[in-house]
Homo-oligomer: A and B are copies of this chain.
Amino acid sequence: MKELIEKIKGSINLSQEAEEHLFSISNKKTFAKGAVLIRQGQNVNKIYFVTGGCLRSYCIDKNGKEYTLQFAIKNWWISDYIAIHTNESASLTVECLKESTVIEFNAKELDGIHALFPEFEPFQRKNLERHMVSLHKRILNQLQLTASECYDLFLEQYPDIEQYTHNYHIASYLGVTQESLSRIRLEKAKK
């Protein structure tokens, strides 16, 4: 929990009461590799702050093909925000790629913190702004870069993540098949 408190304090002043409230609605959990925190099709009302390990969110189409939306490591948030904000059942699955520790929040309770302690607002707003910018960049990159260039950028952005992921996780994040990623890796190895 102190990781989250530290992160928040890096952005705003946090009163004792606010910190206590945040603690009271939080729930520290540890999940084994392969554990599924949110399953596509089921109800979602949890948001997770990652304090250790590595998770990913992805959706599966009718043919069983997977498409990774996000990886989350220490100090990242992960959930199915599409479902939470549209009040639908999960369109994503969130699973642990290795044993992970998270702080679990109920989405409604976490949202309610802004009414109780408005001091959280700037923190949340800045989080959302940063996230929006990274999504804009990702969309522009996918539009203009080749698969190989997207892979280079991915390795820059997630320098340590390869040790936790399978190639097909990364491929499904980049929007190519694992066979294509394998060929891309072969080309890079040659150089």
Q: In the complex, which residue of chain B has the Cβ closest to the Cβ of A133? A: B85
Query: Residue on B with the closest CB to A176?
Result: B143
Contacting residues, chain B, for A175 (C-beta < 8 A): 142-143
Which residues in A have some Cβ–Cβ distance to B below 8 Å?
A: 59, 61, 65, 67-69, 81-82, 85-86, 91, 114, 118, 121-122, 124-125, 128-133, 135-140, 142-144, 172, 175
Cβ–Cβ contact A143 & B67, under 8 A: yes
Q: Does the CB pair B133–A132 fall under 8 Å? A: no
Contacts of A130 in B (CB 8 A): 85
- Chain A interface main SS type: helix
A165 to B117 Cα, complex, angstroms: 45
Task: Decide if A139 touches B65 in the complex (CB within 8 Å).
Answer: no
- Chain B residues lying within 8 Å of A59, measured Cβ to Cβ, are 140, 144
Tell me which residues across on chain B come within 8 A of A69, comparing CB atoms.
Answer: 136, 139-140
Task: Find the residue from A65, A81, A128 having the highest chain B CB count within 10 A.
Answer: A128
B143–A132 touching, CB < 8 Å: no
Give min CB distance, A44 to chain B, whole Å: 13
**Set B91, B135, B144: member contacting A132, Cβ < 8 A:** B135
